[in-house]
């Protein structure tokens, strides 16, 4: 991980991402293995999801989920204050960080003050967003991702390609090769069970050595000051129970009012995310170990991150704050399914990533210019979203907001074109000229090369030489 | 904590849900529970049991039954070092024995509360997990379970684990593989 460079402005896009969005997309499209892996993943998600709709009424649960999250966002300041007070009552420490840099400073400072050398992490998009791994690495502290998929990526020196299934773009052989390299031996099995068992032992060594466990937070429950960490592997439980200190990193929007709301969201989340009616482990943590308890961390720190979220309240993008990071919109998106998450070059990919990355990064970043256009606006994402975020509308708004010189230029061209086509006389003259040009350039009934701005079209498709085309 | 009128229906639902979660279960009479649990663990090849210090464990005489099967018993808190607690040293076939506060029939979920005698990590650090569940602790929905756990006026436990089946990962090729970090097997002994 030491190969990464820190970006001065602290934006959320990955710094070691190479090339432009277009180049990354083209590379991804050429990668046949990647396509195969993504197809398998999306198909298995689709199957699970159908089951949830059929047997567990997922569609009916959406409306309530939407209402809960909308009301959470409306009452956010009060809920956060309540959460904060209750965590403190339970013996925990709460830190509000305005941005990623501030959060990283706090956590690295804590690690240094307590003499911690190894930090064990469970999967968390918020820590990806604030680039905690780089910060700890720079401070000379070893960070180990303990979620199997995240650990695989850490070994490959790559970034997650999916919110829930980070290593979904790699296959078994690729994983086995990485494990052999890490262990420095060929004595690593090839089958899935063997690979999982191998990782279990290697990572237990890290749990035994870690002084701090860092987890994310799926939900904070304000009424009791409890954090919910949802997972399937059991590593988040080890992270939150084994090391002496537990640090939980939470995006400020992830809070619900009470247990009635939490119960609903905790059921919707795994249904939408993995097509299961329950996650294997949900860890509900209210402060550190109490007197008389033999295990659990002595210290509990909750780091609540703003990172540009607070400013979205009351704007046309407010609804994006309702997101519970289930990843359903990614799997449902034909763009994401074609190129995977890494082409996006930001921690959050897919439709929700295309909406929030520009918002969290500010209007002048490359992500703001390009990412809102990573969508066909087919609307599959909005349909898949379990909390009813109208992603396609937000994407359109994000496009309107993207104000690069390139789009401004094409704005002028479109206005001129619209003026020409609005008058019958100029329209007819345009069409007559167009027909002549097509016929002059046509070979065997097809035009394969157009001049000027038309070149972009004929680069990938031909155009009939007669208009309207004849059969 | 609660006894619903249609407890039998709820129990059937729980058993079906547990099967769906790839957990195994047996329903036994309370008087037989200690012996039956010890028998199951011996058959599973368990060498050491890490047992929650709970009233229910005492009532069914589990410790004596386990010792009779030749299983080494450590009561919680065990006093083991972190490497041995994680299974890196000592016997491999360790079984954590928990006593859930509640179970959710609809989802096949066990509600484990941390307390002085019940560790946060008993079930995940071990290779096997056996849960001793009194039948009257089964509720239908997760909402009911959480409402009871976090009822007004009750101090919320420092940690509650909702456990729904053995540990698994789908991180390699999206195919579910058991035994990632937590227990490889989960067996629920329902005591009627
Ligand atoms: S936007 Fe909706 S579908 Fe996408 S990750 Fe968030 S909650 Fe899930």
What's the CATH number where A165 sits? 3.40.50.10420
Confirm whether A77 is domain-assigned. yes
Last residue of a domain, one of A310, A329, A357: A310
B16 compared with A183, residue with greater pLDDT: B16
Shared domain for A108 and A255, answered yes or no, is yes
In the predicted model, what is the mean pLDDT of residues A99-115? 97
Confirm whether B1 is domain-assigned. no
pLDDT at A468 over 80: no
Q: What is the pLDDT of residue A3?
A: 37
Tens digits of residue pLDDT in A54-63: 999 999 999 9
**Cβ contacts of A58 on chain B, cutoff 8 Å:** none
Taking alpha carbons only, the member of A386, A336, A355 closest to residue A67 is: A386
Instruction: Give the best residue of A48, A233, A238, A271 to mutate against chain B (max B CB count within 10 A).
Output: A233
Cβ contacts of A387 within 8 Å, gap of 6 or more:
A62, A65, A66, A68, A69, A268, A322, A323, A324
- Tell which atom from ligand 1 comes closest to the C-alpha of A332: 3
- The parent domain of residue A428 ranges over 417-464
91-110 of B, contacting A, C-beta below 8 A: 106-109
pLDDT at B133 over 70: yes
36-55 of B, contacting A, C-beta below 8 A: none
- Is residue A267 less than 8 Å (CB to CB) from chain B? yes
> Distance of alpha carbon A200 from its chain centroid, rounded?
26
Is the CA virtual torsion B18, B71, A238, B52 positive or negative?
positive
Q: What is the pLDDT of residue A6?
A: 40
Confidence of residue A236 (pLDDT cuts 50, 70, 90): very high
**Cβ contacts of A234 on chain B, cutoff 8 Å:** 124, 167, 180-183
Q: Report the CATH number that the domain containing residue B126 is assigned in CATH.
A: 3.40.50.10420
Confidence of residue B2 (pLDDT cuts 50, 70, 90): very low
Distance CA A233, CA A218 (A): 15
Confirm whether B26 is domain-assigned. yes
pLDDT at A162 over 70: yes
Q: What is the pTM of this model?
A: 0.89
**Cβ contacts of A203 on chain B, cutoff 8 Å:** 181
Q: What is the pLDDT of residue A406?
A: 55
Q: What is the mean pLDDT of chain A?
A: 90
Confirm whether B158 is domain-assigned. yes
Confidence of residue A11 (pLDDT cuts 50, 70, 90): low
342-361 of A, contacting B, C-beta below 8 A: none
Contact flag A285-B159 (C-beta cutoff 8 Å): yes
Tens digits of residue pLDDT in A406-448: 556 667 778 888 888 999 999 999 989 988 888 888 888 888 8
Contact flag B77-A295 (C-beta cutoff 8 Å): yes
pLDDT at A2 over 60: no
Q: What is the DSSP letter of B115?
A: B
Neighbours of A179 (CB within 10 A): 20
Contact flag B171-A278 (C-beta cutoff 8 Å): no
Distances (CA, A) of B19 to A95, B23, B161: 42, 5, 20
**Cβ contacts of A221 on chain B, cutoff 8 Å:** 150
- The parent domain of residue B82 ranges over 13-169+186-191
Contact flag A171-B160 (C-beta cutoff 8 Å): no
Tens digits of residue pLDDT in A34-77: 888 888 888 989 999 999 999 999 999 999 999 999 999 999 99
Tens digits of residue pLDDT in A352-390: 999 999 999 887 777 778 899 999 999 999 999 999 999
Confirm whether B175 is domain-assigned. no
With CA atoms as reference, the chain A residue closest to B162 would be A282
In the predicted model, what is the mean pLDDT of residues B111-128? 94
118-137 of B, contacting A, C-beta below 8 A: 119-121, 124-125
Domain count, chain A: 2
H or E segment at A119? Answer: strand A118-121
Residue A13 Cα to ligand 1 middle (Å):
19
Complex ipTM, two decimals? 0.95
**A9-13, A235-239, A331-335, A384-388 — which is least confidently predicted?**
A9-13
In the predicted model, what is the mean pLDDT of residues A330-342? 92
Confirm whether A106 is domain-assigned. yes
Confirm whether A19 is domain-assigned. no
Taking alpha carbons only, the member of A333, A235, A216, A330 closest to residue A273 is: A330
Q: What is the pLDDT of residue A99?
A: 95
Residue A12 Cα to ligand 1 middle (Å):
19
Per-position b or e across B166-186, b if 16+ CB within 10 A of its CB: bbbbbbbbbebbbbbbbbbbb
Shared domain for A95 and A228, answered yes or no, is yes
Confidence of residue A223 (pLDDT cuts 50, 70, 90): very high
Domain count, chain B: 1
Confidence of residue A230 (pLDDT cuts 50, 70, 90): very high
């Amino acid at each position: 991980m030491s190969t990464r460079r820190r970006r001065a402005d602290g934006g959320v896009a990955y710094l070691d991402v190479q090339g432009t969005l277009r180049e990354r997309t083209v590379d991804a499209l050429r990668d046949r293995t990647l396509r195969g892996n993504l197809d398998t993943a999306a198909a298995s998600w689709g199957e699970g999801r159908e089951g949830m709709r059929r047997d567990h009424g997922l569609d009916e649960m959406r409306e309530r989920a939407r209402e809960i999250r909308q009301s959470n966002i409306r009452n956010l300041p009060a809920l956060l204050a309540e959460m904060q007070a209750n965590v403190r009552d339970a013996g925990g420490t709460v830190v509000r960080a305005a941005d990623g840099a501030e959060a990283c400073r706090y956590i690295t400072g804590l690690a240094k003050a307590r003499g911690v050398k190894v930090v064990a992490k469970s999967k968390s998009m918020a820590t990806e967003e604030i680039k905690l791994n780089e910060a700890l690495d720079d401070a000379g502290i070893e960070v180990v991702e303990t979620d199997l998929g995240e650990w695989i990526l850490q070994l490959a020196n790559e970034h997650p390609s999916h919110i829930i299934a980070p290593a979904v773009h790699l296959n078994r052989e690729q994983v086995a090769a990485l494990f052999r390299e890490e262990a420095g031996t060929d004595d690593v099995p090839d089958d899935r069970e063997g690979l999982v068992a191998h990782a279990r032992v290697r990572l237990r060594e890290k749990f035994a050595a870690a002084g701090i466990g860092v987890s994310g937070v799926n939900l904070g429950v304000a009424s009791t000051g409890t954090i919910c960490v949802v997972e399937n592997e059991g590593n988040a439980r080890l992270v939150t129970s084994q090391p002496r200190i537990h640090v939980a990193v939470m995006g400020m929007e992830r809070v619900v009012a009470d247990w009635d709301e939490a119960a609903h969201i905790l059921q919707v989340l795994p249904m939408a995310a993995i097509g299961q009616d329950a996650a294997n482990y949900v860890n509900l943590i209210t402060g550190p170990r109490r007197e008389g308890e033999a295990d659990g961390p002595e210290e509990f720190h909750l780091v609540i991150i703003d990172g540009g979220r607070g400013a979205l309240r009351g704007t046309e993008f407010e609804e994006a704050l309702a997101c519970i990071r289930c990843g359903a919109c990614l799997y449902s998106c034909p763009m994401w399914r074609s190129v995977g998450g890494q082409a996006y070059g930001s921690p959050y990919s897919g439709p929700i990533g295309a909406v929030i990355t520009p918002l969290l990064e500010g209007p002048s970043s490359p992500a703001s210019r390009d990412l809102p256009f990573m969508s066909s606006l087919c609307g599959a994402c909005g349909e898949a979203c379990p909390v009813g975020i109208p992603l396609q509308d937000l994407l359109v708004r994000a496009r309107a907001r993207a104000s690069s010189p390139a789009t401004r230029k094409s704005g002028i061209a479109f206005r001129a074109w619209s003026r020409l086509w609005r008058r019958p006389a100029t329209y007819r003259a345009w069409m007559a000229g167009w027909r002549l040009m097509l016929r002059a350039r046509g070979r065997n009934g097809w035009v394969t090369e157009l001049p000027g701005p038309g070149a972009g079209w004929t680069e990938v498709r031909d155009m009939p030489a007669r208009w309207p085309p004849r059969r | 904590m609660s006894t619903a009128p249609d407890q039998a229906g709820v129990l059937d639902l729980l058993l079906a849900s547990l099967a769906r979660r790839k957990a195994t279960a047996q329903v036994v009479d309370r008087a037989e529970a200690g012996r039956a649990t010890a028998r199951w663990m011996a058959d599973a090849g368990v060498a050491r049991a890490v047992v929650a210090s709970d009233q229910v464990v005492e009532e069914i005489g589990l410790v004596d039954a386990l010792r009779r099967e030749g299983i080494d018993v450590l009561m919680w808190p065990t006093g083991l070092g972190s490497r041995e607690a994680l299974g890196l040293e000592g016997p491999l076939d360790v079984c954590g024995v928990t006593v859930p506060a509640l179970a959710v029939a609809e989802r096949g979920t066990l509600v484990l509360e941390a307390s002085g005698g019940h560790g946060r990590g008993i079930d995940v650090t071990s290779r096997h997990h056996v849960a001793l569940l009194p039948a009257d602790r089964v509720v239908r929905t997760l909402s009911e379970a959480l409402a009871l756990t976090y009822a007004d006026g009750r101090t919320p436990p420092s940690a509650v684990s909702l456990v729904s089946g053995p540990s698994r990962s789908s991180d390699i090729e999206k195919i579910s593989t058991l035994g990632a970090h937590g227990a490889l097997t989960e067996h629920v002994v329902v005591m009627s």
